[in-house]
Structure formats: C-alpha cells, structure tokens
Amino acid sequence: MTDEKLPETYRPAPESMLCFDLYATHHAVGQVYQPLLAELGLTYPQYLVLVTLWTGDGLTVGELGQRLGLESSTLTPLIKRLENNGVLLRARDKSDERKVRIHLTEAGKQMEGRARHIPGCIAEAFGLPLADLHRLHETLTRMRASLKASMEQS
C-alpha cells in the first residue's frame, strides 16, 4: 500500500466504500430471496444449509460449518429450528459419538424440487450479462482468498 498523504478533505462516504458495496448488495439480494423463500418457510441461512445438504446428505455440523463459514454457535440452533420444522433429523455418528450427522427427511428432500426455480429468479434479478456474473464470481473468489491470507498472517 502507498503511504502518500491524502488531502485533509478526503473523507470516504459509505456509498463510495467497497465494503459497503458488499454489505448493501448482499442485503439487496436477501430482499429478493425473502419472498421466494417465505413460500417454503425458510430463511436465507436455512436455505444455504439445505442447498448444501442437497449436494450430499449426512454431513456433520462441522462439515456444514466449514462449507458455509459458520460456527457451531450459529448452526446448532439454526439446525434445531429446521428439525422442528420437519425438514431434517440430527443423529449422533455411531462410530464417533462427538459428531452429529444431519439427514434430510422426505419433506426436506422434496423441498429441493419446490426450490428449483429460485436460482433462475435470482440470476434474472441480478440484471447483468452472464459474462459479468462470471467475472464477478472470479473477482470475489480471489478477493476472499486474499482477505483470508491477510488474516492468517496477523
């Protein structure tokens, strides 16, 4: 990073800050998801958990947390809410009783079909050509790698 002095009048406003772009865009995406997910009785984080389970049932809490970047203190109550709503079941792993494996119920599996239209709706709402979306994905992935690296070293 350059160390050059910025003029005294340089005062970043939230609207010009990249971190705010991420914050606000993520928020706006959540607003678009909200009515789509409400039909299924899901919140956005709950939907992410189900998407992950649809790619592979029987994951442990830890594996889910690794995929989604969430702690057990977040996942445990979230998963219990999903269990209360009947979309999954929690079961201790027989060969290692420390682990809790999450299994979809029939209702949870069938929900995949009912959610199939959602990615298309979201992609449409983005309103950008596919090439831009690809570039965005790549930029954000590289950025995330860099952010993680800068955290490790400190």
What residues make contact with its own copies under the rule CB under 8 A? 1, 11-29, 31-33, 35, 48, 51-52, 54-55, 67-69, 119-128, 132-133, 135-137, 139-151, 154
Tell me which residue of 60, 62, 104 sits closest to 83, measured CA to CA. Answer: 104
State the binding partner of 60 from DNA, its own copies, none, CB within 5 to 8 A by kind: DNA
State the binding partner of 137 from DNA, its own copies, none, CB within 5 to 8 A by kind: its own copies
Per CB under 7 A, 45 contacts DNA: yes
State the binding partner of 43 from DNA, its own copies, none, CB within 5 to 8 A by kind: DNA
* Comparison of 69 and 119: residue with beta carbon closer to DNA: 69
Per CB under 7 A, 71 contacts DNA: yes
Give the nearest distance from C-beta 123 to DNA in angstroms. 21
